[in-house]
Structure 1
Amino acid sequence: MGNPRCDICGQTMIKHGTTAWGRQRFRCKACSSTLTRRNDIHARDLAAFLDYVTGRTRYADMPGQGRNARRRFAHFWPLWPLSPLVDEVHHVVFVDGIYLSHKLVVLIACTKDHVVGWYVARGETSASWAALFSRIAPPDVVVCDGGSGIASAIAKTWPTTRIQRCTFHAFSTIKRTTTTRPRTNAGVELYGLARALLTIQTREESVAWLGELTTWNDRWQTFLAQQTHLSSGTYVPTHGRLIQARNSINTLARKGTLFTYLEPDLQVAGEPIPATNNQIEGGINTRLRALLREHRGMPLDHQIKAVLWWCDRHTENPASPARLLAITVTDTQIAAIFATTHHRTHAHNTINRWGTGVNWTDFHHTGTWHNTY
């Protein structure tokens, strides 16, 4: 680190014994002023904390069962990593949510290379998705699993962005209703169409597939219209589950979100549009679940922080530990802002505070990608 410079004359100082506490003293030969210097190890401890919370090392693997590490890391659990401000326009963005409890989900947006944003919410509502999207420049295409609220949030926040519905999730929706061994010929044919959906790679194949879907609808229209008379005197559809599967795939075909990845005007050299959101399902959510398993036993607030810190470390340009100490807000600061927010004054529990209360107007603005820190 070298000897410090004098605050008075700017000359390099020399060592001048130690204090009663054993700390090194320095003296300026030019003006005879003295001072002591204490190393700030908070950034180093934060770096160790980030390695722990985003890695596979457990307290039990540390010396002394991690007792010293627990004391060092206790100062950093209240830190809350904020979602970055992204003004770079990406060609494709993948979005999905990972549930940490029944009513707490972390919404994540990423590209094929890195995480671009996150948001903690009580559910996958359109307001929660819009809060996430508001800090990210509109991409050309967003790949999603069709979760609730995504389409309306995209229409509101990213009106020019095209949607690619994950074809595997569309197939899985049909498989859940027909099963892999349908009992009716209509179910067998629909399940075959769903499986064929996963193999389409050209525009011609997609047009042919849509034609087969139309033919299937016409062929089985009378069959699906059958009604069953119940003892209560009411009538219900005889093939209700098959109707549910039909409606789900027809809705996607009508909206035109199944084959966005084949649109000629969206093709960019070297950046093909995937038909599925495996990039986030297998690349991020799977790793986050493995991380939480390694640190099983964490309370819910620590699980949230572990997920958010992992996302923060996997952004395009993660901040250094020293920079994080300067810009990261704490639970106390968030609680103070939350307490002064009129429409949330009666919220008393952690999940409410960390749902829509994490990124309010202080951190998310209704304008175009404003940043306050």
Structure 2
Amino acid sequence: MGRRKSSKARLCTICGEPMRKNGTTSSGRQRWRCMRCRASSAGDGGNARGAAEFRAFLVWATGRMTLAQAAATLGVSPRTFIRRIQWCWHVKPGMPRPTSPCSAVEADGTYVPYGWCLLVAIDAADGTPVAFQWCDTESRAAYARLFSKLPAPRALVTDGGAGCAAAAADAWKDARIQRGLNDKMCVLFRRVEVTSSGLACPAFPDSES
């Protein structure tokens, strides 16, 4: 059985994992070490090497930099670079829970390769992400998990998916549900018939004046 992690352990400033005591400095200060990313710290400044590795990893993984170019930023070979950033793949991104409810929240899902879907909730006022949830499909349960991370807003903007609406009805009973403008336009264009003489809209006949 592995060693139990203390709830009072210092959290790693690089990957967020609880650190372990690792002796003391010559001045008697407690030294801490993260067993995941190997960061070592005796103060509040974190670990410069771990921070540099993580920055290089992010630039390489999300940008156009080649492996050789990324390795050069750390002054190492590509083989050494791969070994040194191995821990970065295991860092779980976190997002602090908002302390006050948003006036309106926009929620939607984006499907990515390998069967995953990322649900994201943003503050409709400024577009700031406030919560996210990984899932395999935009189900009621998945959206319920997303909404559980947020205080109830006054309104929810959604694409009209059944899973999202059902979860909102359970978690945010008093929130108004509003269809997004882009979704409304898509529905409108699906119902508009394009003819040789222009646009005809059988579903929305012209009203007599």
TM-score, normalising length from structure 2? 0.63
Partners of 1:101 and 1:147 in 2: CA distance: 21
1:122 pairs with one of 113, 116, 136: 136
Identity %: 27
What's the secondary structure of 1:149's corresponding residue?
Answer: helix
Partners of 1:138 and 1:51 in 2: CA distance: 36
The amino acid of 1:85's aligned partner reads R
Partners of 1:6 and 1:166 in 2: CA distance: 60
Aligned match of 2:83: 71
Contact residue 84 and residue 135 of structure 1 kept, 8 A: no
Aligned match of 1:147: 161
How many residue pairs are counted as aligned between the two chains? 161
Contact residue 104 and residue 154 of structure 2 kept, 8 A: yes
Computing the radius of gyration over CA atoms, which structure comes out larger, 1 or 2? 1
- 1:133 equivalenced with 2:130 (yes/no): no
Aligned match of 1:196: none
Alignment of 1:155-166 (within 5 A): 155-166=169-180
Contact residue 191 and residue 201 of structure 2 kept, 8 A: no
Aligned match of 2:181: 167
Contact residue 139 and residue 164 of structure 2 kept, 8 A: yes
Aligned match of 2:51: 43
Give the CA deviation at 1:82: 3.8
Contact residue 98 and residue 150 of structure 2 kept, 8 A: yes
Give the CA deviation at 1:156: 0.7
What's the secondary structure of 1:99's corresponding residue?
Answer: strand
Deviations 1:21-61 (A, max 9, x none): xxxxxxxxxxxxxxxxxx77223322332343344434254
Change (3 A) 1:60 1:182: farther
| Structure 1 outlier segments of 4+, above 6 Å | none
The amino acid of 1:146's aligned partner reads G
Query: Unmatched 5+ residue regions in structure 1?
Result: 9-38, 194-211, 217-373
Deviations 1:275-326 (A, max 9, x none): xxxxxxxxxxxxxxxxxxxxxxxxxxxxxxxxxxxxxxxxxxxxxxxxxxxx
More helix by percentage = 1
TM-score, normalising length from structure 1? 0.37
Partners of 1:149 and 1:182 in 2: CA distance: 36
More strand by percentage = 2
Aligned match of 2:103: 91
Partners of 1:189 and 1:176 in 2: CA distance: 10
